[in-house]
Amino acid sequence: MDGQSMQTPPAQPRSLTGPRRATPYSRLTVIGMGSWGTALAATAARAGCETRIWGRRPDLARAMAETGENPDHLPGIKLPATLRPTSDLREALDGAEAVLLVTPSHTLRDVARSMRDYLPAGIPLALCCKGIERGTGYLLSHVVEEELPGHPVGALSGPTFATETALGHPTAATVAFTFSHHDRIEPEKAPAARLALTMQTEAFRPYVSDDLVGVEVGGAVKNVIAIACGMMTGAGFAENTRAALITRGMDEMKFLAEALGGRRETVTGLSGAGDLTLTCSSTTSRNMALGTQLGRGLSRDECFDGKPVVVEGEINAISVVDLARRLGVSMPICEAVHAVLHEGAPLTATFQQLWAAPIEGEPRALDLFLHPHEGDPA
Ligand SMILES: NC(=O)C1=CN([C@@H]2O[C@H](COP(=O)(O)OP(=O)(O)OC[C@H]3O[C@@H](n4cnc5c(N)ncnc54)[C@H](OP(=O)(O)O)[C@@H]3O)[C@@H](O)[C@H]2O)C=CC1
Ligand SMILES: O=C(CO)COP(=O)(O)O
């Protein structure tokens, strides 16, 4: 790997070039044959890693093997010939040195449980889905640790539209695993470093972080904020408003990350600010697209022409808001999205109320401005 982490404190050197270069994994398995799983599998295969991809439908695995494309989720994009698709979980996991988990977040617990019998202990698992579990409020890493104990668990996350990554457009992401004592002594052997190198191509740049919590919270919250941005854009609000939502949304992300033990600077990195910017800027994002359609007045059933589409922020509005309330963290934008999506609140009025809410934090600055000598010794 040729760079230091963008998201780790500069005091801890993590350059893994030269004699301390990490060894990439030679066999990787991707669990999930949707667009992102396919794009990541293609990336690993292009990087020279022997890569298998598992999907639950034999017909799709067969079609991929025969055509060299994923006709359902990434039609028209040629995949590396070395990529091996299968719907047999045992075959997929046999001999894997590391595994990427890329199914929708609400299916993760079941999928992880189904892998138990086929995975020897110690194989690193990296979450590439984004969310917080509904009901428990667990970060997805905790869900996986419960279902598959005895494995290092991390995440790969960032501003990464699947189609662009699969087409080879320059893309950067963060690979985060909590560093053990040993990882700090020999960082080149740490799963984060090895996985980052496994995935690195001329186009795909993975950066290493040890703040798994910060990375996971960024991925879960940005989807809810993207729905908010879409709602306001669809309802006719303008660019100033969207920029304000992105910035204040990033604060909500920061507060939740810190409450869970994550770091502020992670939220300003690729997996936080980077992903938030991407997702809140374009209706290529399914979350932004859902919000936009609802903002224009479509009913939920009419969105995406009635087709089923994975919109993580929709369920995660519930889990994020629930978790924030339990932790006493104020997340008014996520609350507004939750109210519109799940409590039948009127969209425009809800966002107008958000705008009219008392400004927290700033009044103190205003006080200091109006009464600059208050509290000063006489
Ligand atoms: N697409 C993107 O640009 C990015 C997506 N992500 C994240 O990746 C995750 C996966 O999304 P993505 O690849 O886009 O999804 P897609 O919409 O492209 O595909 C959904 C995938 O999930 C599978 N699936 C649905 N239900 C189940 C289930 N019960 N058990 C197992 N598999 C199931 C589908 O299988 P089938 O085909 O059989 O229906 C399909 O493979 C999400 O968390 C998303 O936020 C992260 C970064 C970028
Ligand atoms: O997470 C993504 C990009 O980083 C994909 O966003 P959507 O799920 O909103 O399409």
- How far away, in angstroms, is 170 Cα from ligand 2 center? 16
- Report residues whose beta carbon is within 6 angstroms of any ligand 2 atom: 130, 159-161, 223, 226, 275, 278-279, 285-287, 312
- Ligand 1 pocket, 177 CB below 6 A? no
The per-residue pLDDT for 186 is 85
Report how far ligand 2's centroid is from the alpha carbon of 222 (Å): 9
- Which ligand number lies closest to the CA of residue 163? 1
pLDDT at 19: 52
Q: Which residues have CB under 8 Å from 205's CB, separation 6+? A: 3, 170, 171, 172, 173
pLDDT tens, position by position, for the chain (378 residues)?
A: 333 334 433 333 344 444 568 899 999 999 999 999 999 999 999 999 999 999 999 999 999 999 999 999 999 999 999 999 999 999 999 999 999 999 999 999 999 999 999 999 999 999 999 999 999 999 999 999 999 999 999 999 999 999 999 999 999 999 999 988 888 888 888 999 999 999 999 999 999 999 999 999 999 999 999 999 999 999 999 999 999 999 999 999 999 999 999 999 999 999 999 999 999 999 999 999 999 999 999 999 999 999 999 999 999 999 999 999 999 999 999 999 999 999 999 999 999 999 888 876 554 455 555 555 444 443
> What is 219-357's CATH number?
1.10.1040.10
For residue 162, which atom of ligand 1 is closest to its CA? 3
DSSP-H helix ranges across the chain: 35-46, 58-67, 89-93, 108-114, 140-147, 162-167, 181-185, 191-199, 212-234, 239-259, 264-267, 275-279, 286-295, 312-327, 332-342, 347-356, 362-370
Q: Is 234 annotated as a binding residue?
A: no
d(CA 307, CA 318): 22
Say what the pLDDT of residue 200 is: 97
Q: Which two tokens stand for residue 204?
A: 């795909």
Among this protein's residues, is 254 annotated catalytic? no
Query: Whose alpha carbon is nearest atom 17 of ligand 1?
Result: 310
Which amino acid residue places its CA nearest to atom 20 of ligand 1? 34
Residue to probe by mutation, ligand 2, list 279, 282, 290, 292, most atoms within 8 Å of CB = 279
Quick one: which ligand is closest to 316's CA?
1
Which residue minimizes the CA distance to atom 7 of ligand 2? 285
Q: Is 55 in the pocket of ligand 1 (CB under 6 A)?
A: yes
Predicted local distance difference test score (pLDDT) of residue 211: 97
Q: Which atom of ligand 1 is nearest to the CA of 33?
A: 41
| 247 Cα to the center of ligand 2, angstroms | 18
Cα dist from 19 to 15, 38, 47, 280, whole Å: 10, 33, 21, 41
Q: What ipTM was estimated for this complex? A: 0.98
Give whole-number Cα distances, 367 to 181, 357, 375, in Å: 47, 18, 12
How many whole angstroms separate alpha carbon 236 and alpha carbon 135? 34
Report which protein residue has its CA nearest ligand 1's atom 43: 129
Which DSSP symbol is given to 335? H
Q: Output the pLDDT for position 11.
A: 36
Q: Of 146, 153, 147, 106, which Cα lies nearest the Cα of 127?
A: 153
pLDDT score recorded for residue 376? 41
Was 295 annotated as part of a binding site?
no
CA distances from 171 to 40, 147, 164, 286, 347 (A): 11, 31, 8, 19, 34
**What are the C-alpha distances in Å from 207 to residues 157, 266, 296, 364?**
10, 12, 38, 38
Question: From the CA of 35, how far away is ligand 1's center (Å)?
Answer: 7
Nearest protein Cα to ligand 1, atom 34: 34
Q: Given this model, what pLDDT does residue 183 score? A: 84
pLDDT of residue 358: 80
pLDDT at 172: 98
Maximal C-alpha separation, the chain:
83
Annotated ligand binding at 287? The verdict is: yes
18-210 and 219-357, same CATH topology: no
Give residue limits of the domains in the chain: 18-210, 219-357
Tell me whether residue 10 is exposed, middle or buried, using C-beta atoms within 10 angstroms of its C-beta: 0 to 12, 13 to 18, 19 or more: exposed
Residue pair 99/124 in contact by the 8 Å Cβ criterion: yes
CATH fold of 18-210:
Rossmann fold (3.40.50)
- Contact call for residues 148 and 115 (beta carbons, < 8 A): yes
Q: Give the per-residue pLDDT at 180.
A: 83
